[in-house]
């Protein structure tokens, strides 16, 4: 009788890339639903554009690279990129903005580097940065969240803005867009208002909630909860989110304490913009992050510091994407210099 | 039960142990078979030389092969019988290779060679004598590494002897059963080791998933009055049974890289090895049998058998009621570090602690053909007990960047399989490391060969140059000597000639001076003749004048 030959180990935890990616996708659901709830049809429309373009460009690239298409599409990584992009881009942005960002993310940042596992930069962040640099005006097409306004912009109006660049009436897009709380605060502080007066401002005041921004606060809280769930499920490593959030907290606290009038509180920073999305879904992308435990601490802390710097003194409304990509560049160096001491090398006390 | 605070090694895994499949029955002796295949080399080190001949009758316990080389162990006959063949036979190995084997036909007489056990007298013997007994009994580490035990015990005055009864691999229960049923003998063996290395304490380490073994060993310790032994229960975590990891758990110290446990005052031996030493000292029985776990869903009656070394696996399986219908994979060793064999017509060897017959669902066959790319999730980093960066090692190993792989401490990898176990991309990491290691060894061997060749070549060049120089020097000297001689001769000749000439001149001069010779025909001339001469001279003058003008 001849037996099957195989190689050790013959036991396996039966984990799979597929299951990791899908758990990340499931964890994205609550925060995404909140984003849809607060920002309306635009989020859904951009989500569908991003998903279709990302999957399509992934399939095309794989075909050109003569790689198996179905297996890679099924791994869920392109889907995550699409969701992250759609969540990061303004809900009233023109359709082509998402298309360009998606193509750049998948084709240039991911497939040209060799596909899943080989990309140096976080694909979604590369896509985001490309459109952020190229189309700064369109990148401000945020809408006022529910709570500031009473109703969603109608489906027809949203479609019209996204695909025609105008409303069905004669009014311009600018009449329905509204800056994000973070952007507002930055502009107002730039105009030498202080935080208190901005929060009490007759127009902008409604944008702010107790913790951070109306709507944004809940989106961030939900991403935080999902993130904790992912850490519990061991889908992501806890070090990067913890070090990122800690670094952002400490730095923002330092400045807020030193000048309460012109530096927003730590809470505002932690629960505004893309903070929680970055902490648990973007910075934790294993492919482009550090792999050593020590390296992950530095990597997360670095993103926190850079994000705060760009948010506070940079020219862009949110610094997450730049911070992540900058730290992506440092990964090989960090990984090399933070190798753990192997067994037998540790000094004995 | 004393308990000290235990340390942790990095990483490790909680696995499904499946120990209860095989640990319900007591150890059963394997029935005598008609034929045994004894591989000449069953240990790490040099192979022995066969000291018996084909056709010769051998007795049970008789030495079949041995060598004087330091790191080696002899093999012995497990039965009395006739040697029917000495030659190549398939042996358990992951490559499925053949090796030199001695094949014995059992005569069922069970006739032993003469035995003279030293028994309790070992207390009066010195370490050297006891090590010789262990060496001649062919005892090797039975935990799986099969390193010759006598060599391991050469350092003396080691503080702590750790007896490894951890048995952390799933499915395997041979050490568990041994401790349960032969605790006193195991401790006696440990006492002999302690005597050899002059240890001050002996710690018996057992994982907490073996309560019966713990009780049995504790009972045996309680009978002992020396206070030498202490039991240490360690939490179940794979791979706690690995020597380095176990030492870390118990002592908190790490065996230095490229060092030995002796460097931190520890010696670690498997409980099975201690039992074999007991057998050698108290009964003068060499290592001719061992306890083997036959387990897995692919076998009818899983159990532990005491199997003579050289018994065919198939004969043992038969005693276990044969295979079940869905037997699929035959694994020598445990499911984490064992290797699959494709036939059961192989002998049990000293290293065989377990035979796992799995069905197709029970065992995960690593898919080597197509795996997902590494997504750098670093789960492997979290579990690696050697604190390596397995994903970096994989990156460099798969890119054949061996220099970099070695730089990332590839050779510190103990191949425990934790990284492969957790890998979500199902990358057969250990396989990559193994092949990278053998590639590096091959390169190293090539390099050494090339170095040797280069050195040889350089030495030859140097030798030739030296010879040439020597020859030239010799020639030059010869020539010089010759020239000198020749010069002298010439000088002498010249001198002689010169002398002769001057002599002759002097003689002429002397003659001239002394004799004042005049031409003889002008002497005594008449006046007439003188006149005539004058006239002639005058004429000549005139003629000369005319011709000159």
Q: Do B430 and A9 touch (CB under 8 A)?
A: yes
Residue A162 tokens, joined: 């996204």
CA distances from A209 to A179, B187, B267, B346, B403 (A): 15, 72, 66, 75, 57
CA distances from A75 to A60, A106, B373 (A): 16, 14, 11
Average pLDDT, whole number, for chain A? Answer: 90
Q: Do A342 and B425 touch (CB under 8 A)?
A: no
The answer to whether B341 faces chain A, any CB pair under 8 Å, is: yes
Name the helix (H) or strand (E) containing B55. none
Is the pLDDT at A22 greater than 90, yes or no?
Answer: yes
Q: Tell me which chain B residues have a C-beta less than 8 angstroms from the C-beta of A8.
A: 331, 333, 335-340, 366, 415, 417, 420, 430
Q: What is the pLDDT of residue A252?
A: 94
Q: Along the 549 residues of chain B, how does pLDDT read in single tens digits?
A: 445 678 889 999 999 999 989 988 899 999 999 999 999 999 888 888 999 999 999 999 999 999 888 888 999 999 999 999 999 999 998 887 889 999 999 999 999 999 999 888 888 988 999 999 999 999 999 988 889 998 888 888 899 999 999 999 999 999 999 999 999 999 999 999 999 999 999 999 999 999 999 999 999 999 988 889 999 999 999 999 999 999 999 999 999 988 889 889 999 999 999 999 999 999 999 999 999 999 998 899 999 999 999 999 999 999 999 998 888 889 999 999 999 898 999 999 999 999 999 887 777 765 555 788 999 999 999 999 999 999 999 999 989 898 889 889 999 999 999 999 999 998 989 989 988 988 888 888 888 888 889 888 999 999 999 999 999 989 988 888 888 887 777 777 778 888 888 888 888 887 777 766 555 666 677 888 888 888 888 888 888 887 776
Residue B189 tokens, joined: 């063996």
Q: Note whether B160 and B131 are within 8 A (CB).
A: no
Closest-CA distance of chain B to residue A102, Å: 21
* ipTM (interface predicted TM): 0.88
Q: Note whether B252 and B266 are within 8 A (CB).
A: no
The answer to whether A345 faces chain B, any CB pair under 8 Å, is: yes
Q: What is the pLDDT of residue B133?
A: 92
Q: Please name every residue paired with A48 in a beta bridge, in sequence order, or none if there are none.
A: none
DSSP of A172-227, one letter per residue? Answer: -GGGTB---HHHHHHHHHHTT--HHHHHT-TTGGGGB-SSSBTTHHHHHHHHHHHH
CA B92 – CA B79 distance, rounded (Å):
21
CA A40 – CA A151 distance, rounded (Å):
9
Report the b/e string of B156-171 with b at 16+ CB within 10 A. eebebbbbbbbbbbbb
Instruction: Please name the residue that has the structure tokens 């994989």.
Output: B394
Q: What is the pLDDT of residue A193?
A: 78
* Gap between the terminal Cα atoms of chain B: 153
Q: Nearest by CB to B378, which of A286, A345, A346?
A: A286
φ/ψ of residue B329, rounded to 5: -135, 135
Instruction: Please name the residue that has the structure tokens 């006022």.
Output: A144
Q: How confident is the model at residue A349 (pLDDT cuts 50, 70, 90)?
A: very low
CA B393 – CA B407 distance, rounded (Å):
9
Q: Tell me which chain B residues have a C-beta less than 8 angstroms from the C-beta of A345.
A: 254, 257
Greater pLDDT, A6 or B170: B170
- Domains and their CATH numbers in chain B: 123-284 (3.40.50.11540), 372-513 (no CATH)
Is the pLDDT at A35 greater than 50, yes or no?
Answer: yes
Closest-CA distance of chain A to residue B93, Å: 12
Q: Note whether B353 and B92 are within 8 A (CB).
A: no
Number of Cβ within a 10 Å radius of residue A14: 11
The answer to whether B417 faces chain A, any CB pair under 8 Å, is: yes
Q: How many CB pairs under 8 A join A and B?
A: 177
Closest-CA distance of chain A to residue B289, Å: 26
Nearest to A295 by CA among B384, B381, B413: B381
Q: Note whether A271 and A296 are within 8 A (CB).
A: no
Residue A208 tokens, joined: 């702010």
Q: Please name every residue paired with B206 in a beta bridge, in sequence order, or none if there are none.
A: B165, B233
Q: Which residue of A has its CA nearest to B335?
A: A10
Closest-CA distance of chain A to residue B465, Å: 48
Number of Cβ within a 10 Å radius of residue A221: 17
Predicted TM-score of the model (pTM)? 0.83
Q: Do A342 and B257 touch (CB under 8 A)?
A: yes
Q: Tell me which chain B residues have a C-beta less than 8 angstroms from the C-beta of A293.
A: 381
CA B338 – CA B336 distance, rounded (Å):
6
CA B72 – CA A149 distance, rounded (Å):
85
Q: What is the pLDDT of residue A101?
A: 96
Q: How confident is the model at residue A91 (pLDDT cuts 50, 70, 90)?
A: very high
Q: What is the pLDDT of residues A132-163, one digit of tens each?
A: 999 998 888 888 888 888 888 888 888 888 89
Closest-CA distance of chain A to residue B258, Å: 8
The answer to whether B348 faces chain A, any CB pair under 8 Å, is: no
CA B255 – CA B252 distance, rounded (Å):
10
Q: What is the pLDDT of residue A205?
A: 78
- For the segment A173-192, the average pLDDT, to the nearest whole number, is 80
């Amino acid at each position: 009788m001849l037996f099957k030959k195989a190689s050790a180990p013959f036991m396996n935890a039966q984990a799979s890339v597929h299951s990791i990616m899908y758990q990340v996708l499931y964890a994205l659901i609550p925060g995404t639903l909140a984003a849809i709830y607060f920002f309306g049809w635009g989020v859904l429309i951009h989500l569908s554009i991003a998903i279709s373009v990302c999957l399509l460009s992934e399939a095309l690239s794989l075909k050109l690279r003569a790689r198996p298409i179905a297996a890679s599409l099924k791994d869920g990584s392109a889907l995550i990129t699409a969701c992250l992009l759609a969540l990061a881009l303004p809900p009233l942005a023109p359709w082509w903005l998402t298309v360009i960002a998606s193509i750049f993310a998948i084709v240039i940042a991911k497939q040209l580097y060799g596909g899943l596992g080989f990309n140096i930069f976080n694909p979604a962040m590369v896509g985001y940065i490309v459109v952020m640099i190229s189309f700064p005006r369109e990148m401000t097409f945020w809408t006022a969240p529910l709570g500031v306004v009473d109703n969603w912009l109608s489906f027809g109006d949203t479609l019209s803005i996204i695909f025609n660049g105008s409303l069905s009436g004669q009014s311009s897009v600018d009449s329905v867009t509204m800056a994000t709380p973070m952007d507002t605060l930055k502009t107002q502080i730039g105009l030498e208002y202080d935080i208190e007066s901005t929060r009490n401002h007759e127009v902008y005041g409604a944008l702010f909630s107790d913790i951070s921004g109306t709507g944004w606060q809940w989106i961030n809280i939900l991403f935080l909860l999902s993130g904790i769930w992912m850490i519990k499920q061991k889908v992501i490593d806890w070090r990067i989110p913890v070090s990122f959030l800690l670094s952002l907290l400490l730095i923002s606290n330092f400045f807020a304490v030193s000048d309460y009038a012109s530096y927003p509180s730590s809470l505002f920073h932690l629960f505004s913009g893309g903070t929680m999305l970055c902490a648990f879904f973007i910075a934790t992308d294993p492919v482009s992050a550090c792999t050593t435990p020590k390296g992950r601490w530095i990597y997360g802390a670095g993103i926190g510091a850079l994000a705060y710097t760009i948010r506070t003194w940079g020219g862009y409304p949110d610094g997450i994407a730049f911070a992540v990509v900058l730290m992506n560049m440092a990964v090989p160096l960090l990984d090399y210099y933070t190798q753990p001491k192997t067994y037998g090398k540790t000094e004995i006390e | 039960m004393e308990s000290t605070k235990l340390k942790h090694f990095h990483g490790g895994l909680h696995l499904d142990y499946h120990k209860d499949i095989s640990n319900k029955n007591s150890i059963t002796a394997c029935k005598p078979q008609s034929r045994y295949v004894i591989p000449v080399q069953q240990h790490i080190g040099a192979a022995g030389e066969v000291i018996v001949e084909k056709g010769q009758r051998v007795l049970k316990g008789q030495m079949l092969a041995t060598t004087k080389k330091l790191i080696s162990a002899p093999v012995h006959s497990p039965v009395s019988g006739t040697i029917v063949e000495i030659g190549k036979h398939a042996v358990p190995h992951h490559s499925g290779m053949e090796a030199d084997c001695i094949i014995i036909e059992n005569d069922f007489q069970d006739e032993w060679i003469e035995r003279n056990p030293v028994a309790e007298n070992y207390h009066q013997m010195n370490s050297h004598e006891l090590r010789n007994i262990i060496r001649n009994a062919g005892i090797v580490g039975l935990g799986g590494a099969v390193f010759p035990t006598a060599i391991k015990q050469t350092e003396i005055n080691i503080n702590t002897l750790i007896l490894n009864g951890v048995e952390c691999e799933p499915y395997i229960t041979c050490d568990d059963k041994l401790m349960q049923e032969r605790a006193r003998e195991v401790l006696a063996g440990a006492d002999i080791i302690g005597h050899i290395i002059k240890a001050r304490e002996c710690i018996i380490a057992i994982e907490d998933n073996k309560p019966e073994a713990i009780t049995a060993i504790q009972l045996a310790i309680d009978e002992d009055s020396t206070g030498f032994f202490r039991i240490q229960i360690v939490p179940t975590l794979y791979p706690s049974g690995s020597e380095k990891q176990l030492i870390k758990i118990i002592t908190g110290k790490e065996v230095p890289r490229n060092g030995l446990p002796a460097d931190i005052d520890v010696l670690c031996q498997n409980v099975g090895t201690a039992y074999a030493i007991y057998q050698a000292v108290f009964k003068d029985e060499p290592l001719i049998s061992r306890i083997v776990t036959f387990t897995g869903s692919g076998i009818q009656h899983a159990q532990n058998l005491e199997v003579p070394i050289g018994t065919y696996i198939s004969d043992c399986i038969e005693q276990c009621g044969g295979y079940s219908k869905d037997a699929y994979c035959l694994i020598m060793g445990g499911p984490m570090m064992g290797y699959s064999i494709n036939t059961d017509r192989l002998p049990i060897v000293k290293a065989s602690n377990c035979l796992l017959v799995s069905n197709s669902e029970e065992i995960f066959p690593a898919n080597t053909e197509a795996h997902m790319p590494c997504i750098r999730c670093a789960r492997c980093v979290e579990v690696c007990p050697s604190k390596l960066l397995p994903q970096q090692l994989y990156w460099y190993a798969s890119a054949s960047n061996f220099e970099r792989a070695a730089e990332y401490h590839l050779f510190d990898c103990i191949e425990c399989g934790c990284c492969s176990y957790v890998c979500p991309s199902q990358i057969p990491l250990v396989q990559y490391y193994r092949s990278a290691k053998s590639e590096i060894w091959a390169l190293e061997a090539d390099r050494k060969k090339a170095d040797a060749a280069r050195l040889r070549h350089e030495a030859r060049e140097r030798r030739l140059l030296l010879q040439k120089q020597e020859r030239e020097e010799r020639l030059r000297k010869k020539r010089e000597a010759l020239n000198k001689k020749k010069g002298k001769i010439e000088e002498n000749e010249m001198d002689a000639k010169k002398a002769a000439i001057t002599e002759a001149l002097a003689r002429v001069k002397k003659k001239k001076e002394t004799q004042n010779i005049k031409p003889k025909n002008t002497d005594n001339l008449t006046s007439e003749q003188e006149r005539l001469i004058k006239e002639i001279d005058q004429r000549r003058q005139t003629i000369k004048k005319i011709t000159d003008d």
